[in-house]
Amino acid sequence: MLALPCVRAGAPRLLAGDGRLDDEVRWVHVSELTDIAPLLRGGELVLSTGIGLPDDDPTLTRYVQALAAAEVRALVIELGRRFQRLPDALVAAARAVDLPLIALEREVRFVEVTEAVHTRVIDAQVERLRRSERIHQRFTELTVEGASVERIADAASSLCETPVVLENADHQALVVASAGADEPSLDALLVDFEARSRAIPHRPAARRHPVDDTVVWTVVPVATRGRRWGRLIAIGGGVEDTGSVLERTAAALAINRLSEHDEVRVALDAHTDILDPLLHGNLDDPAARQRLMLRAAAIGVPLADRALLGCAVRLVDDDAAVRAPGRLQRDLTERLLDATRAGGAALIQRRDDGLVHLVVSAAGDEDPRQVVRAVTTRLFDDLARTAPDARIAIGIGTVVDDVTAVRRSVDEAAQTARALTPATPDAAVPFHGLDDVRLPGLLTSLIGDRRLANFVARELGPLLADDAPPHLFETLRAVLEHGGNKRRAAAQLGISRTALYDRIDTLTRHLPGDIDDAVSRTSLHVAVLAHAIARDPASVNAGPDAGASPPGA
């Protein structure tokens, strides 16, 4: 108001309240009455020539005190008609209650002041209404579209002009919308996020953080079906109506996305956002690597100075797979998320190849395999109650102590899980490593390699031809699985030893090498295993207790 040309023409001089120049003026009121205070609503700037003001100091003091009690923004008095200079008592009273007191050295037209200020006030109110309508329309569109949680958070961040975090009830930062903030700024937000968030009360408000009072945290709860699910936090000053924007955001989330299932989906999306670059990105950049570790710590899975272990889980349930392909894997992923919440810290990602990957994080003095054991035990208990016929294969990799080595550990786990024969949830050994699957594990990792396919074709080509007697391949496999022991091979095939000898004679004419030669027998056995794994990985029983495949496998 003081910067308006019509006011500057009066040579305004501030005599009190210099710390309140940022106060917002809601309206301008022209009055010469000394008892005007009861008629005011607060937020007004009072314009006066001072004609009606008394001469005695006590009345002047009460006049100023009454204006301050009515939450008047400022008192502006034009000099010349009543006072050549404002009385000392008036100035002292204004300073005592910290009420801005301005003297106009020259005459001004009050109507020009009121018109100018009221125009600004009304324009600002109209702009607030227009912005409120834009915010309402934006979130209505997102709600109608069924927008993702990430898109809704991005819209909130853009409207608030500050980063917005969606956290769950455990204060884990599941979604971080940046509003164009640079990476170092985002990194600073995520440092010790959980502890800093816990220091902010649950009551919705904008407040300075109790530790870092240079940062304003505006907090609004997110609830679904009467249950508080988490909070939206705008970190930084943002715009004036940041709290209102967050409230509209929370309503859009509650309507659109955060059903019980979507709460899980949001958490898994946050895990995927970390695991994708961790397993497939370039970790040579120290800044990118540090950012990834901060993001993981913010959702409750610290990666720095931890023992890390890759894990892969494969679940087989024929009935469920037939009923709803894809649902089986989603169900497994959600069960694993529940198990890790109770059993230990881990990142989880559902893969398109039928596996669910985990990266388990354990403190330096912990064995991550024990975390896997706790998680799988909870998973098995859950499946035993709800899907007792399900079959599970769980592979683990090597324990590593650096995020750059996690990819290798997960690859080992996936290779192992594919090579294992799934077992029911009551299996004595819940998981296995590469040391357990040995040759079948290696062959499983090479399935699809043209060189292996060519090797199988060279070794077994005549037996795989359409016109080849089917019993020849079964005979070869039985002989090889029993190390050339013809008595045991004949017993497995259910034929006499004489009949077996006749089949072996026929095999010898179809095979490239002598079945009694050790090197030839090894080559043939590798080819038979590779062919069986290519047709059905479960047909080769890989594991620490692996024995012969069942007849007819």
Mean pLDDT of 105-117: 90
- Domain with residue 230: its CATH number is 3.30.450.40
438, pLDDT greater than 90: no
Report pLDDT for 510.
78
Paired tokens of 247: 């409230």
Question: pLDDT class for 544, splitting at 50, 70, 90?
Answer: very low
331 & 424 share domain: yes
Supply the DSSP string of 338-381, one letter for each residue. Answer: HHHHHH-EEEEEE-TTS-EEEEEEE-TTS-HHHHHHHHHHHHHH
- Domain with residue 11: its CATH number is 3.40.1390.20
14 located within any domain: yes
Report pLDDT for 318.
53
pLDDT in tens, 124-144: 778 778 888 888 888 888 888
Domain boundary residue, one of 219, 245, 268: 268
487, pLDDT greater than 90: no
412 & 449 share domain: no
Least confident span in 38-47, 99-108, 369-378: 369-378
Least confident span in 32-36, 162-166, 435-439, 488-492: 435-439
52, pLDDT greater than 70: yes
Report pLDDT for 260.
46
158 & 253 share domain: yes
259 & 331 share domain: no
11 & 102 share domain: yes
Domain that holds residue 416: 301-432
Mean pLDDT of 10-35: 90
Report pLDDT for 424.
67
426 & 524 share domain: no
Count of domains forming the chain: 4
Question: pLDDT class for 236, splitting at 50, 70, 90?
Answer: confident
Question: pLDDT class for 257, splitting at 50, 70, 90?
Answer: low
Supply the DSSP symbol for 435.
Answer: H
137 located within any domain: no
Report pLDDT for 181.
67
Which of 242 and 388 is assigned the larger pLDDT?
242
290, pLDDT greater than 50: yes
CA distance 18 to 103: 13
Residue 541 corresponds to which amino acid? N
254 located within any domain: yes
141 located within any domain: no
Element (H, E) at 398: strand 391-400
- Domain with residue 331: its CATH number is 3.30.70.1230
CA distance 464 to 246: 66
- With a pLDDT cut of 90, the percent of the chain lying above it is 14
Average model confidence (pLDDT) for the chain? Answer: 82
Question: pLDDT class for 90, splitting at 50, 70, 90?
Answer: very high
Domain boundary residue, one of 268, 290, 311: 268
454 & 406 share domain: no
Question: pLDDT class for 120, splitting at 50, 70, 90?
Answer: confident
Contacts of 550-553 spanning 24+ positions with Cβ under 8 A: 551/492, 551/493, 551/494, 552/474
547, pLDDT greater than 50: no
182, pLDDT greater than 70: no
Question: pLDDT class for 475, splitting at 50, 70, 90?
Answer: confident
198 & 99 share domain: no
Residue with tokens 């970790």: 283
Least confident span in 20-29, 213-222, 266-275: 213-222
Report pLDDT for 393.
85
Report pLDDT for 48.
92
Mean pLDDT of 516-538: 79
539, pLDDT greater than 60: no
224, pLDDT greater than 80: no
Report pLDDT for 426.
60
494, pLDDT greater than 60: yes
Residue 16 phi, psi dihedral angles, 5° rounding: -160, 160
Which of 342 and 165 is assigned the larger pLDDT?
165
283 located within any domain: no
Q: Which of 67, 115, 123 is nearest to 93 (CA)?
A: 67
294 located within any domain: no
pLDDT in tens, 367-425: 888 888 888 888 888 777 777 777 888 889 888 988 899 999 998 888 888 877 777 66
CA distance 7 to 12: 7
Report pLDDT for 551.
27
16 & 104 share domain: yes
506 located within any domain: yes
Count CB atoms within 10 A of the CB of residue 309. 27
284 located within any domain: no
Burial of 247 (0-12, 13-18, 19+ CB in 10 A): middle
Report pLDDT for 325.
46
Domain boundary residue, one of 432, 456, 483: 432
420 & 477 share domain: no
397 & 487 share domain: no
CA distance 412 to 428: 22
Alpha helix stretches (DSSP H) within 429-485:
434-446, 450-464, 470-481
173, pLDDT greater than 80: yes
209, pLDDT greater than 50: yes
Report pLDDT for 76.
94
Produce one character per residue of 107-136: b if its CB has 16 or more CB atoms within 10 Å, e if not. ebebeebbebbeeebeeeeeeeeebeeebe
332 & 398 share domain: yes
Query: What three-state secondary structure class fits 315?
Result: strand
Least confident span in 297-301, 305-309, 417-421: 417-421
Report pLDDT for 184.
67
Distances (CA, A) of 286 to 289, 291, 407, 467: 5, 9, 17, 60
- With a pLDDT cut of 70, the percent of the chain lying above it is 87
